[in-house]
Structure 1
C-alpha cells in the first residue's frame, strides 16, 4: 500500500477529484467481480430461503466495504480510521459468514468469494500491518467456515487467497497512481511557492542594496543637523540640502527599480497566467496578435489579466479557460472566459471592480458577465487613452 502525508491542496482541483473517483471505481469493480462469482455459486442453492439469507449476508459485507472505501480513499485517512474500519469489517465478517457459507453448490465456497472481496479491499482500507492482519483473518474465517460446514478447506482457501490477491494488486496499482499524481501536484505547488518566495527575497535584497547607504546617510545628517540647529544655521542649511538631495536620489532609484519590476509585457503575462492555470489542472488556450501592442495599451491590460487569472484559480469548478488578446482600430481588447461559473466566487470579493474604475478613468472599459455556466471578463482600452 502506498502511504504518505496528505498533500495540502491536491484534491482541490477537478482533475484530482476525478482521479479519486477512478480509484473508487477500480475498487468497486474488483468487489463486483467477487460478488458476481459468489452469486454464480449461490444460484445453485435449491432452497430459496437460503438464497435470500446468503444475499443478505453478501449485501451486509458489500455495504460495509463501500462505506469504508468511501471514507478511506485517499489513503491518508486510513491511519486515523484504522481501528474503527477494522472493527466494522470484523463485525460484517462475523455476521455474514454464517449467512453465506452454508449455501451454494459447495459448502463454504460462496463465502470464499465474498471473503476475497474483503481481502482485496484491505490495502485500501488500512495501513500495511493492519491490512495484512485483515487479509490473514479473512483467510482464517474462510478455512474455519469450510471446515465447520464440511466443505473442501483447501479449495475455499485457494479461492480467497488467489482472488483476493488479484483484487488487492489491482487496487494497490490504482492507489499508487493516484498518490503519485497527488504528490506531483503538490510538488508543482511547492515549486511555485518557492519561486514566489525567492522573487520576494530578491526584491528585498535589491531594495536594501538601493536604499541602505542613502538612508543611513540621511539618518546621520539628520542627527548632525539637529545638533547644529541652534549653533550654526548655515551648516544646518547645508546639511538639510544634502539630505534632500540624498532622499531625491533614493526616490529616483526606487522608482527606476519598481518600474523594472512592473514592466512586464502583456504577451509574457498571458503565457505566465496560462502556465499557472495549466499547472492547476485546467485546459487553457491563448490567442494573441502577431505583433506586440504598444506599451500604452498593454500596461492597463496586464493588471486585468493578472486579476482575471487569479479569479479563475479561486474557482474550484473551472475546467477550461481561454485568453484572447486582439488589436482593434481604436485600441486593444482582452477577453478571458472560463467555465463552471454557476456557483463561482463573488466578483465583489476580487479586484475586478477596482480595475474597472481604473480603466474607466483611463478611458477604457471592463465588463464581467456570468451566463450559461461561463464567466467572461472583457477589457478594452483606446489608443488615445
Structure 2
C-alpha cells in the first residue's frame, strides 16, 4: 500500500526507488504520506471512541490499544519498505496485531472490525507467500466469526476488503522483489559487458601488436649483431623496425577509434533505457538495417541521438519523446534522416548550446546537416546524413 512503482531515480523524482529504504527526511515523509492515506479504515474505531458510548476506563483502554496497534503496524510497514525484520522477528508483531484486533473487537464492538484490514496487510507484506495466503484467509475467517457473533449481517464488503487488500499486498511485495532483482541483474549485466569489452580489447590488441612487437624484437636483435661488421645491413633492419612500428601505431589508433565510435543500434537501446529511467514515454523505431550507410554517417547519427536524448532527459521536462528514422530522396540524393521530438519546454537556455554546436560540426564532416528548434509540441531535432544508395533504412516513429 505504501510502495510506489515510479521507475525514475530518486535524484530525478524525489522519491525512493522500490525496495530501498528512505534516505532523507523528505523521502521518509513521502513514504509516510502514502501510509497515512490508508489509515482511513481507522475512522470507525476513532468515531466509536469519540461517541461517548463507553465508560471512561473502556475509552482509555481503547485509545491505548489503538495507539499500540497503529505503532506496531507502522513499524512493520516502514521496515518492510526498506530493510525488513528477519523472518523469526516478524511473526511476533503480526500475531500481536491479530490479538489486539480480536480483543478490541470483542471488548468495544463491531466498529473495530476494520482493524483486521491492517492485520491482513501485515500478513501479505511480511510473511512468505505460502504463509501469507493462509494467514490472510485465517484473518478473514476470524473477523467473519466475530462479526457474526456480534449479530452483524452486512459484512461482505469488509470481508472482500480484508481478502483483496491482503492478497494485493502480496502482489506489491512480489513487484518490489522483482524490481530489486532486475536492478541487481542489470548491474551484473553491465559489469559482465564491461568485462567482456575489456577482454575483447585485450584480445584484439594482442592480435594487433603481438606479431609487430615480435618482429621488432627479432629485427632489433639482428641489427645489434650486424652493427659492428655490417652497418649497412643493420641500417636496413632499423628502417624495417621504423616501418613496423609506424604500422603498429596505425593499427592501434584504428582499433581504439573503432571502439570509441558509437553504433546507432546501441544508441537506440541506450535511449530506450535512459528515457524509461526518466519516466518519459518513448516511441522508438525498430533496429535499423544500415546497409549502404557509411560508418562515419552512422556514427554521426548515433552521436546526434545521444545528444538529443540527453537534452530530453536533463532539460526538457518532457513526458513523451518520439524518435523517427527513415530515408528520403532529396535533390542532393538519398539521405538518412533521424528526428527526435519531445513535448517538453525545450533546453535550459536560449540559442544552441555547445553540444548542438559540436554535433553540427560532426554532421558537417560526414556531409550531413542538423536542424534544431521548436516543434509541434516541444523541441525537435532533425539530423540528416547521405546514404550511398540501397533500400529504405527504417521508418518514422
The normalised TM-score by structure 2 is 0.58
Equivalent of residue 165 in structure 1, options 119, 143, 163:
119
Equivalent of residue 128 in structure 1, options 39, 63, 85:
85
| 8 Å CA contact 1:342, 1:373 repeated in 2 | no
| 8 Å CA contact 1:273, 1:309 repeated in 2 | no
Structure ranking higher in helix proportion:
1
CA distance in 2, matches of 1:212, 1:141: 76
Which residue pairs with 2:165 in the alignment? none
Residue 41 of structure 1: CA displacement? 0.7
Q: Deviations over 1:316-338 (max 9, x none)?
A: 96654321123231433212234
Residue 221 of structure 1: CA displacement? 3.1
Distance 1:369 1:263, change over 3 A: same
| 8 Å CA contact 2:262, 2:303 repeated in 1 | no
| 8 Å CA contact 2:282, 2:322 repeated in 1 | yes
Residue 37 of structure 1: CA displacement? 1.9
Q: What is the RMSD of the two structures over their aligned residues, measured on CA atoms?
A: 5.1
Residue 202 of structure 1: CA displacement? 1.0
Which residue pairs with 1:197 in the alignment? 195
CA distance in 1, matches of 2:268, 2:336: 18
Q: What is the SS of the residue equivalent to 1:337?
A: strand
Tell me if 1:353 matches 2:357.
Answer: yes
| 8 Å CA contact 2:101, 2:115 repeated in 1 | no
After superposing the two structures, state which structure 1 stretch, 217-226 or 198-207, moved more: 217-226
Q: What is the SS of the residue equivalent to 1:128?
A: coil
Distance 1:180 1:343, change over 3 A: farther
Which residue pairs with 1:27 in the alignment? 35
Which residue pairs with 2:181 in the alignment? 183
Equivalent of residue 39 in structure 1, options 46, 66, 74:
46
After superposing the two structures, state which structure 1 stretch, 119-128 or 158-167, moved more: 158-167
Which structure would you say has the larger RCO, counting Cα contacts within 8 Å and 6 or more residues apart? 1
Distance 1:269 1:42, change over 3 A: same
Distance 1:11 1:185, change over 3 A: farther
Q: Deviations over 1:212-264 (max 9, x none)?
A: 23124324534654675565321222212321442355356557756865787
Give the gaps of 5 or more residues in structure 1. 1-8, 47-100
The normalised TM-score by structure 1 is 0.59
Q: Deviations over 1:86-116 (max 9, x none)?
A: xxxxxxxxxxxxxxx9769865335444443
| 8 Å CA contact 1:10, 1:183 repeated in 2 | no
Which residue pairs with 1:61 in the alignment? none
Matched residue pairs, number?
Answer: 314
Tell me if 1:333 matches 2:337.
Answer: yes
| 8 Å CA contact 1:44, 1:104 repeated in 2 | no
CA distance in 2, matches of 1:289, 1:18: 30
